């Protein structure tokens, strides 16, 4: 096995510098660690958030950054929690994932679906899942995310069914970015 070169990354396994492996192994379950740190995938239809319809935010299980809202969660047949958008695109990173193709680029030419786009938490580097282009409107995207990489926080102020109250009148004075 040889590391380096691919995608310009010199990090062998994870770009996570926020937490030590040791700490994460203690804090996370085996599956949570496997998914977020080793790019694993939980078994389809097995995740705890797959069928959850409660109102709230889905945060990164590793660093706590809020990444997905129940407002954008939809029922997908894929077997994992599916969202049609992220809370903020700056909170995640996208990376082309050719792990299903390996070094056989001819296979990619025949089956382009094998090229997936990996989605990770920008803050801590945790692997979350993949994004596909077959989602519902308005974005047409389907973020297929492992339950094991998420931590759900119930919030009744967030709607999951109707989005008619999109303009909530809560004070948002925290728009300072610089």
Annotation marks residue 124 as catalytic: no
Judged by CB under 5 A, the residue of 57, 126, 128, 148 near Zn ion is 126
Q: Is 125 left (phi over 0), alpha (psi -120 to 50) or beta?
A: left
What are 71's two structure tokens? 């407002």
Residue nearer to Zn ion on the CB measure, 35 or 62: 62
Q: Measured between alpha carbons, how far is 145 from 131 in angstroms, rounded to an integer? A: 8
Query: To the nearest whole angstrom, how small is the minimum distance from the Cβ of residue 60 to Zn ion?
Result: 3
145 touches Zn ion by CB under 5 A: no
Question: Residue 78 to residues 94, 144, 161: CA-CA distances in angstroms?
Answer: 20, 8, 20
Task: Select the span of 62-70, 86-94, 112-120, 155-163 touching Zn ion (CB under 5 A).
Answer: 62-70
Residue nearer to Zn ion on the CB measure, 125 or 135: 125
Q: Measured between alpha carbons, how far is 149 from 127 in angstroms, rounded to an integer? A: 7
Q: Measured between alpha carbons, how far is 120 from 106 in angstroms, rounded to an integer? A: 27
Query: To the nearest whole angstrom, how small is the minimum distance from the Cβ of residue 153 to Zn ion?
Result: 14
Instruction: Name the site residues for Zn ion (rule: CB under 5 A).
Output: 60, 62-63, 65, 121, 123-124, 126
């Amino acid at each position: 096995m040889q590391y380096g070169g691919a995608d310009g990354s010199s990090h062998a396994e994870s770009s996570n510098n926020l937490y030590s492996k040791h700490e994460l192994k203690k804090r996370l379950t085996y599956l949570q660690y496997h998914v977020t740190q080793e790019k694993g995938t939980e078994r389809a239809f097995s995740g705890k958030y797959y069928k959850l319809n409660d109102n709230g935010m889905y945060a990164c299980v590793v660093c706590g950054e809020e990444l997905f809202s129940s407002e954008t969660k939809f029922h997908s047949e894929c077997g994992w929690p599916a969202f049609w958008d992220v809370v903020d695109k700056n909170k995640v990173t996208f990376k082309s994932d050719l792990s299903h193709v390996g070094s056989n680029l001819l296979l990619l030419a025949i089956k382009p679906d094998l090229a997936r786009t990996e989605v990770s938490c920008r803050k801590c580097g945790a692997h979350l899942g993949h994004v596909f282009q077959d989602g519902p409107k308005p974005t047409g995207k389907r973020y297929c995310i492992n339950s094991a990489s998420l931590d759900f926080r119930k919030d009744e102020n967030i709607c999951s069914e109707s989005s008619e109250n999109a303009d909530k009148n809560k004070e948002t004075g925290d728009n300072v970015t610089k």
